Chain A
């Protein structure tokens, strides 16, 4: 039942005050022109997936090859393109727009993003090492990592030893975050807690893999076309109801008028 995830832009964090007095820290994510750019099918590629694109890119900054790719899909050039594996029955038509109703309030999701880069960081910051002592003869190396191995045997530093080095700007997935609120008009998804990456960065949101699949998710995805149709249907229904109400009102008025005319007639006869 694997369905597509979404690409979202991290806008920033704020808090929500609940009726029961609780405060919830939330990260605000926004869907920006999220459209299906291409499909991967079993026949052609050996697996099924949808390629989504988000954001708006200036045409002159898009490579000729990607311009062609977007032209085939008949979509505007996108800033960010990501592929999501989906089950064959959950493939989405190219050009369809996904909206924020894709997730419901209370649902658990996994969010992936590129973390904020910290540059070259020491052992204390990078791996939570304790450092050396402040006194008792320690000189210059208060924040060093200390020993990195044993003696002549093995006589080397083991591969993967935690040391100083580059920290951050790696892809990190935070699992089992809860969706607190969604707003499909503005394309906003509010997620409880923090999400990897700086403000303005792209993150991908997927249904949580470590939770049972929720029953009331929209398959294959919450689409703009479906929403438009629903709105049109609702409008149509409202119009119909209005017309009916008007017709009933007219009938009632006509009846009343008739009744009054008859009453007048009777009065005249008398």
Chain B
């Protein structure tokens, strides 16, 4: 393992986060810390994960899209951000591609994603915290 990979692995270990197993098409609920003046609270952001980028490493990120008051909103979260309190999988989607960008052009009925009822949790040690 080279030094950079080693440092990143150490940092992931020290952050001590458990990332649930989720992929594009899944509906996720992200608890994001918001600071208002001096006090912080956790804001929930729920939507469809439409892409995951840069793998499972320290640089990983994912995009969550939702329709808020009739307007499409997308937020990109770093996987290991210290501002993220929790990531929760609400629903497993059955999709056939890695990037769900086609949802941007769709609304309502055509923007639905079928539920994956046959989902099986991965058999790795840190996957599927809530699967």
Contact = CB atoms under 8 A, between A and B. Distances in A.
Interface string B4-17: 10011001000100
A29 to B, nearest CB: 11
A20 B58 CA distance: 17
Interface stretch (B44-52, B80-88, B96-104, B120-128): B80-88
Nearest to B80: A17
Interface in B59-99: 59, 78, 80-83
B105 interface: no
B3 interface: yes
Contacts of B2: 11-12
A30 interface: yes
A186 B7 CA distance: 11
Contact of B58 (A14, A19, A188): A14
Contact of B83 (A13, A15, A21): A21
A20 B82 contact: yes
Contacts of A17: 11, 15, 58, 78, 80-82
B33 interface: yes
Nearest to A9: B3
B81 A12 contact: no
A268 B124 CA distance: 70
A28 B7 contact: yes
Interface residues of A, number: 16
Given A21-B83, A23-B78, A23-B81, A14 B7 contact: yes
A18 B82 contact: yes
A16 interface: yes
Interface string A3-37: 00000000111111111110100001010000000
23 contacts: A11-B2, A11-B3, A12-B2, A12-B4, A14-B4, A14-B7, A14-B8, A15-B59, A16-B11, A17-B15, A17-B58, A17-B78, A17-B81, A17-B82, A20-B82, A21-B33, A21-B82, A21-B83, A23-B78, A28-B3, A28-B7, A30-B3, A188-B3
Given A21-B83, A23-B78, 14 more contacts: A12-B2, A12-B4, A14-B4, A14-B7, A14-B58, A16-B11, A17-B11, A17-B15, A18-B82, A19-B82, A20-B82, A28-B7, A186-B3, A188-B3
Interface of A: 11-21, 23, 28, 30, 186, 188
Closest 9 CB pairs of A and B: A21-B83, A12-B4, A17-B82, A21-B82, A11-B3, A14-B4, A14-B8, A17-B80, A14-B7
Interface of B: 2-4, 7-8, 11, 15, 33, 58-59, 78, 80-83
